[in-house]
Amino acid sequence: MNTTSGTHSHSISVRDLTLNFGAVSVLKNLNLDVAEGEFIVLLGPSGCGKSTLLNCLAGLLDVSDGQIFIKDRNVTWAEPSDRGIGMVFQSYALYPQMTVRGNLSFGLKNAKMPQPEIDKRVARAAEILQIEPLLDRKPGALSGGQRQRVAIGRALVRDVDVFLFDEPLSNLDAKLRSELRVEIKRLHSRLNNTMVYVTHDQIEALTLADRIAVMRGGLIQQLDAPQVIYNRPANLFVAGFIGSPSMNFLHGETIDGGRAFQFGPTRIDLSDYDGGAVGARPKAILGLRPEHLDIQEHEEPGSTIPAVVEIDEPMGADSLVWLKANGTHMSVRVEVERRMKPGTPVFLKVDIAKASIFDAGTEQRI
Amino acid sequence: MADTRIMAGPRGAKPRRILAPANIMLYGTLIVAAMYYALPLYVMIVTSLKGMPEIRLGNVFAPPLEVTFEPWVKAWSTACTGINCDGLSRGFWNSVQILIPSVILSIAIASVNGYALSYWKFKGSELFFAILMIGAFIPYQVMLYPIVLVLKNVGDFFGFQLYGTLGGLVIVHTIFGMPILTLLFRNYFAALPEELFKAARVDGARFWGIFFKIMLPMALPIFVVAMILQVTGIWNDFLFGVIYTKPDIYPMTVQLNNIVNSVQGVKEYNVNMAATLLTGLVPLTIYFISGKLFVRGIAAGAVKG
């Protein structure tokens, strides 16, 4: 008990995890605690180490240093099948020569489970995922969405507490992807087990996660609820990675002891800023999401930026207007009915309470 | 006016000329190439069905006036090599006894090698593979005598005869098949999705479980390829057969050579042709049978889960 006391009540605990491939360090002293029943999404660009971390959790990669606990048990050296995890892969990884039933029961047979129990579990998983009519087909005769359901079923029959998803929806087309996304969320609320989900798709991350871990270069940049990640990104990387189109970054300086932001000739009042003490910084970055700006005809000193419309992109539900302000390209989200003519001079109203200010040197949010 | 002219223009599938210059070149080349291989075969079959008087007429392309299977029977059961006069049948059974264990043993070992080298990387596995590959590039001749010594000494050490026995030759064939077969299997397994292997590990399968239950069923096409390679290679082998066996247990190829090149008496071209065809029959059959299997194997392996 004394070896696990520090990890009590966590479903997964990663302690100082390091993984080196030769001279390349893929994960660096990584720590992560996942609570019971929590849905954690590991999000980041390719090569950030998110899939590597998941493979370490699964036991498919040997770690160089550090420890992994699952359900308060040290599994750092345990075989994948002995860790109490189920895993779903991007390419489904169904055994092509076996029927769906064979795929679902393969792991249970390896565990020498009695046949009646296997039948019971397969039937339950098939019922939950609505794949009963497919049980005697082979994977080759299934559609992509059906295959991924079977792959989820294979994790389900193991009756484990922890599900690991490795970009499970990346091989599906857009429509199926959103359908299965909802289904995974439904599954989570029904089973209420711990899920760790790797993706590079921020929509999946924002919609599914209880908490998102944004990763870069083998390190977790920020671990927080989706809304916090979106509204109060910890640093410039997280701010730029989350949100589509990207957050607008205005390079300037903070003046008057941090009471205002000077962007070229424009002065923006910071008294409503929601963050730490800004102070005077000769180099700072003001981050504004496209939906936290509004286009208007009249100037309001201290809270508007003069800009010129370059182009507008109607996107169905809303419309994106691209403008140029003081040499910087910016995007603003407006109602779709509002069409803007290129070359029109306008003023951008800044909602400073929802903005983020970053130190240009440390790239951290202030 | 303009509309009707446009509508009168080309429409539908583009016509293709059968006797286009490109087609003439293509089929001309193909026909010449086919003749190049088919003509000698024709001469062999025709000659093997003639009697000696008819052959002495010297008309090699003429079909037999009087079809006789005498030469085939003689080649199989009574043709003489040295003091043995029981035809090719002896060599045939020797070759079968060499072929079957060599093919099974070499493919069995190489498939496990390839599987282990692509999925269960260990420290130095890349070096091991590199050394194995170098083996494929060393000329056989360099290794002939060292292997004689190895067979002799290993046999002496364990107290039985290896050099000059069928068992010794089986070992030699197995070893020499290893580099290319391992490469074949390794590349095939490396091309299978790695996530399949990972999924099997999460499902609790271990080294042999994954090999037999997941990998083998997916590897049928490459097994057929390996089998074709080994059967034809080992059946057609002459060099190892001469060196590592002795007259009583010479494989069929060596015996064929001894029949065809025997200096005493009249040259019986019909018997020689029949003997050659008999020897070539096994690889030929393998091609015909496995050709279909091969296609089926590819079709079965094409579905990726």
Identity of the residue in B204, B218, B305 whose CB atom sits nearest the CB atom of A93: B305
Q: CB-based contact (8 Å) between A79 and chain B?
A: yes
Half-sphere exposure of B164 (CA within 13 A, CB side): 10
Residue of A75, A85, A98, A110 to mutate, testing the B interface (most B Cβ within 10 Å of its Cβ): A110
Q: Do B218 and A89 touch (CB under 8 A)?
A: no
Q: CB-based contact (8 Å) between B121 and chain A?
A: no
The predicted-structure confidence for B77-121, as pLDDT tens digits, reads as follows 888 777 777 888 989 999 999 999 999 999 999 999 999 999 998
Q: Do B304 and A96 touch (CB under 8 A)?
A: yes
Q: CB-based contact (8 Å) between A147 and chain B?
A: yes
Q: Consecutive 10-residue runs of chain A (366 residues): their mean pLDDT?
A: 50 94 90 95 93 95 94 93 93 93 95 95 94 94 92 93 93 90 93 94 94 94 95 94 92 90 92 87 93 92 93 91 94 90 93 93 91
Residues 315-334 of A with CB under 8 A from B: none
- Grade residue B170 by pLDDT with cuts at 50, 70 and 90: very high
Phi and psi torsions of B279, nearest 5°: -65, -35
The order of strands in the sheet holding A293-296 is A293-296, A345-350, A304-314, A318-325, A328-335
Q: Whose structure tokens read 């590597």?
A: A52
Chain B residues with CB under 8 Å of A85 CB are 202
Q: CB-based contact (8 Å) between B199 and chain A?
A: yes
The ipTM estimated for the assembled molecules is: 0.87
Shortest Cα distance, chain B CAs vs residue A137, angstroms: 12
The predicted-structure confidence for A143-154, as pLDDT tens digits, reads as follows 999 999 999 999
Model pTM score: 0.83
Exposed (0-12), middle (13-18) or buried (19+): which is B241, by Cβ within 10 Å? buried
Q: What residue of B is the nearest CA neighbor of A86?
A: B202
Q: What residue of A is the nearest CA neighbor of B200?
A: A107
Per the structure block, which two tokens stand in for A358?
């970053």
Identity of the residue in B202, B209, B303 whose CB atom sits nearest the CB atom of A85: B202
CA distance A344 to B296: 67
Write down the pLDDT at residue B80. Answer: 78
Q: Do B303 and A139 touch (CB under 8 A)?
A: yes
CA distance A240 to A132: 44
Q: What residue of A is the nearest CA neighbor of B301?
A: A96
